[in-house]
Amino acid sequence: MRGLMQAQPLTTSSILEHAERCHGGQRIVSRMVEGPIHRCSYRELAARSRRLANALLSLGIAGDDVIGTLAWNGFRHVEAWYAVAGLGHVLHTINPRLAAGQLAYIINHAEDRAILADLSFVPLLESIADQLPGLRDVIIMTDREHMPATSLRSAHCYEELLEQSPASLHWPALPEDTASSLCYTSGTTGRPKGVLYSHRSTVVHALSVCTPNVMGLGMQSVVLPVVPMFHANAWGTIHAAPMAGSKLVLPGPSMDGKSLHELITGEEVDVAAAVPTVWQMFLQYLQDSNQRVDCLNRVMVAGSAVPRSMIEIFKRKYGVTVCHAWGMTELSPVGTINHPGPEERSMAEQEQLALRCKQGRFVYGVTARIVDDEQRELPWNGASAGHLQVRGPWIAASYYKETGDHLLDEDNFMDTGDIGTIDANGYLQITDRAKDLIKSGGEWISSVELEGHAMDHPDVALAAAIAIPDPKWDQRPILIVKLKQGHAAEAEDIREFVARRVARWQAPEWVTVTDEMPLTATGKISKLALRHRYSHPVQSVD
Ligand code: ADP
């Protein structure tokens, strides 16, 4: 028997319409590329998104056209998201931190018909324009006054287009499985691959992000996604905040400690999201400038493992709860998040802290399992480590245009490429990426664990463990660290500090201190670059 409920499609335009009608006065605050702070309401966002949609139609955008954005987190970028997807086209968020060759590759692979670009990225686009044969229009996201002289053909001024376009438009009724947006993985482990989200996956994911066990957003929340809209959809906040009626605060291009602190205290942000390297800088700023962040209640931290010291310092010194999360571009991106559960009430503080360092519980909608090399399922006992596999309504089934590359096995699970344990309460702990594991004397050594210990050293700002070839043991771990500003620990001190915390055979062979840690386009340490740099080890402390 079939249910008798309405089959109303879940589309992103329904979020915008809801925000306009029910939270019309709620604010969006953006630090603009041009400098000043800009304020508008969800009512204005909805009207301007309709104007932009009309402008896009007048440029001849139609059918399955893909429209790229090269932009920071700001109100115009939000308008672009809703306008393009609302019309039924595909919004492609391009990561401007990619190398020029990779940028051209993904723009051509996605077949971007037009690109909306912030002023900051006009020179970048100019430098690769001759490699982009399919690109017809560029819309520069600024007003007439700031419009630059440009060699780009068919460059339009965003605000001029909006002025010339009417604000009336009925969003088309779209099947909910229509593609809404496209985001390429940053290529940390190889060639970038496109994840093509649907309206349904986006809306269902945003509903989950609002819930208390994920970000816990409501009308009283003030949300700051520092994580860029071009990195895994700013973790769902751009759809979740209007859905919940939360105030949305957008940092634009300024993600340094001082700018973030100004924005957080000035706008009374209570929940903010960013990768660990950003929070590391932020904590350093708070410490150096002796500032407080009393309004900030919790920070969402994901993208790579959160060091224990970060969780401790945020809580003890600033009263801020760190919610450690795990996700992937392929998961829209939320997979797990760490909030204290009822079973922790009777736990000692140190035990609770150890639990906070894990990546957290799977959110409803993400079904998970861990398997061994032979695909046998492993128990959830917190000790058995295996390949993490997931399935659910906001998880990719295949990559864009990679027809031979199906992601799913016969049970519809996707292998994440991560290795982890899951405990009896459903807490995931990532121990490694499959290709980052270090195999020494037939035993696996977790690079994440070594990095975590190194990061607990008071002088260490960033740490990466990689394998180097070893004639006797096959591989041995080494540690590369970057020190905090003004700190001067010796490499050997750090090696001993880590060695005291692990089994003897797991201790790093040697530690090297570097001033320049290579980062990927999503702000993670690039192990690819480090492996290249240290493939012929020359530096040793012992
Ligand atoms: P990229 O491959 O470009 O880095 P993502 O940004 O989608 O793409 O990164 C997803 C990967 O980041 C995960 O598969 C995992 O390896 C890593 N990751 C994400 N969150 C965490 C976390 N909290 N702890 C450890 N690793 C994480």
Q: Is the pLDDT of residue 471 over 90?
A: no
Nearest CA to ligand 1 atom 12: 303
Above pLDDT 70, what percent of the chain? 97
Q: Is 54 helix (H, G, I), strand (E, B) or coil?
A: helix
Mean pLDDT computed over every residue of the chain: 93
For range 128-157, the mean pLDDT: 96
Q: Is 142 in the pocket of ligand 1 (CB under 6 A)?
A: no
User: Cα 517 from chain centroid?
Assistant: 20
Sort 5 into a burial class: Cβ within 10 Å, 0-12 / 13-18 / 19+: exposed
Alpha carbon distance 53, 78 (integer Å): 13
CA of 349 to the centre of ligand 1 (A): 28
Q: Which atom of ligand 1 is nearest to the CA of 330?
A: 7
pLDDT of residue 539: 44
Helix then strand then coil, % of the chain, to nearest 5 = 35, 25, 40
> Which of 80, 125, 307, 108 has the alpha carbon at shortest distance from 192?
108
Q: Which atom of ligand 1 is nearest to the CA of 430?
A: 25
Q: Which atom of ligand 1 is nearest to the CA of 301?
A: 23
Q: Is 69 in the pocket of ligand 1 (CB under 6 A)?
A: no
Q: 115 has which bridge partners? A: 68, 138
- CA distances in angstroms from 23 to 406, 410, 495, listed in the order given: 41, 44, 54
Show the CA angle centred on residue 522, arms to residues 97 and 139, nearest 5°.
Answer: 40
Q: Which residue matches tokens 């210990």?
A: 453
Nearest CA to ligand 1 atom 4: 188
Q: What is the dihedral of CA 214, 219, 224, 230, to 10 degrees?
A: 70
Q: Is the pLDDT of residue 541 over 50?
A: no
Q: Are 51 and 165 in contact (CB under 8 A)?
A: yes
Q: Is 323 in the pocket of ligand 1 (CB under 6 A)?
A: no
CA of 275 to the centre of ligand 1 (A): 10
pLDDT tens digit sequence for 404-418: 667 888 899 999 999
Assign residue 236 a region (left: φ > 0; alpha: ψ between -120 and 50; beta: otherwise): left
Q: Are 171 and 87 in contact (CB under 8 A)?
A: yes
Above pLDDT 90, what percent of the chain? 82
Show the CA angle centred on residue 254, arms to residues 253 and 255, nearest 5°.
Answer: 110
Domains of the chain: 13-214+223-254 (3.40.50.12780), 349-431 (2.30.38.10), 437-533 (3.30.300.30)
For range 168-177, the mean pLDDT: 98
CA of 90 to the centre of ligand 1 (A): 24
Mode of pairing for the β-strands spanning 90-93 and 66-70:
parallel
For range 18-30, the mean pLDDT: 98
pLDDT tens digit sequence for 336-366: 999 999 988 899 999 999 999 999 999 999 9
CA of 510 to the centre of ligand 1 (A): 26
Query: Which is the catalytic residue, given 444, 482, 514, 524?
Result: 444
> Which of 350, 421, 362 has the alpha carbon at shortest distance from 392?
362
Active site residue 277: no
Nearest CA to ligand 1 atom 2: 188
Cis bond leading into 508, ω under 30°? no
Q: Is the pLDDT of residue 245 over 80?
A: yes
Q: Which residues in 76-110 are b (16+ Cβ under 10 Å) and which e?
A: bbbbbbbbbbbbbbbbbbbbbbbeeebbbbbbebb
Q: Are 287 and 295 in contact (CB under 8 A)?
A: no
Q: Is 332 in the pocket of ligand 1 (CB under 6 A)?
A: no
> What is the DSSP-derived secondary structure letter of residue 170?
P
Alpha carbon distance 488, 351 (integer Å): 31
Query: Which is the catalytic residue, given 111, 189, 258, 439?
Result: 439
For range 62-72, the mean pLDDT: 96
Alpha carbon distance 532, 535 (integer Å): 5
Listed range (371-385, 485-499, 510-524) with the worst mean pLDDT:
510-524
CA of 304 to the centre of ligand 1 (A): 5
Q: Which atom of ligand 1 is nearest to the CA of 524?
A: 4
Q: Is 232 in the pocket of ligand 1 (CB under 6 A)?
A: yes
Listed range (22-36, 43-57, 251-265, 407-421) with the worst mean pLDDT:
407-421
Q: Is the pLDDT of residue 189 over 70?
A: no
Q: Which of 524, 527, 528 to mutate to test the pocket of ligand 1 (most atoms within 8 A of CB)?
A: 524
Q: Is the pLDDT of residue 383 over 60?
A: yes
Q: Is 185 in the pocket of ligand 1 (CB under 6 A)?
A: yes
pLDDT of residue 537: 47
pLDDT tens digit sequence for 295-326: 999 999 999 889 999 999 999 999 999 999 99
Q: Which atom of ligand 1 is nearest to the CA of 328?
A: 7
pLDDT tens digit sequence for 113-126: 999 999 999 999 99
- Which distant-in-sequence residues (6+ apart) come within 8 Å of 3 by Cβ? none
CA of 416 to the centre of ligand 1 (A): 9
Q: Are 244 and 217 in contact (CB under 8 A)?
A: yes
Q: Is 416 in the pocket of ligand 1 (CB under 6 A)?
A: yes
CA of 283 to the centre of ligand 1 (A): 22
What are residue 417's phi and psi, to 5 degrees? 80, 0
pLDDT of residue 538: 43
Structure-model confidence comparison of residues 38 and 535, the more confident one = 38
Listed range (101-115, 220-234, 375-389, 440-454) with the worst mean pLDDT:
440-454
Assign residue 525 a region (left: φ > 0; alpha: ψ between -120 and 50; beta: otherwise): beta
Alpha carbon distance 80, 68 (integer Å): 9
Q: Is 433 in the pocket of ligand 1 (CB under 6 A)?
A: yes
pLDDT of residue 186: 67
Alpha carbon distance 335, 150 (integer Å): 42
Q: Which residue matches tokens 């009925």?
A: 170
Q: Which of 229, 304, 527 to mutate to test the pocket of ligand 1 (most atoms within 8 A of CB)?
A: 304
Active site residue 444: yes
pLDDT of residue 1: 95
For range 255-278, the mean pLDDT: 96
Q: Are 73 and 181 in contact (CB under 8 A)?
A: no
**pLDDT category, 22, cuts 50, 70, 90?**
very high
pLDDT of residue 505: 87
pLDDT tens digit sequence for 285-303: 999 999 999 999 999 999 9
**pLDDT category, 535, cuts 50, 70, 90?**
confident
**pLDDT category, 442, cuts 50, 70, 90?**
confident
Query: Which is the catalytic residue, given 330, 449, 451, 509?
Result: 330
Half-sphere exposure of 450 (CA within 13 A, CB side): 32
Q: Is the pLDDT of residue 248 over 80?
A: yes
Half-sphere exposure of 392 (CA within 13 A, CB side): 26
Gap between the terminal Cα atoms of the chain: 73
Q: Is the pLDDT of residue 461 over 70?
A: yes
CA of 338 to the centre of ligand 1 (A): 15
Q: Is 429 in the pocket of ligand 1 (CB under 6 A)?
A: no
pLDDT of residue 89: 98
Alpha carbon distance 441, 507 (integer Å): 13
Q: Is 390 in the pocket of ligand 1 (CB under 6 A)?
A: no
Q: Is 329 in the pocket of ligand 1 (CB under 6 A)?
A: yes
User: Cα 538 from chain centroid?
Assistant: 35
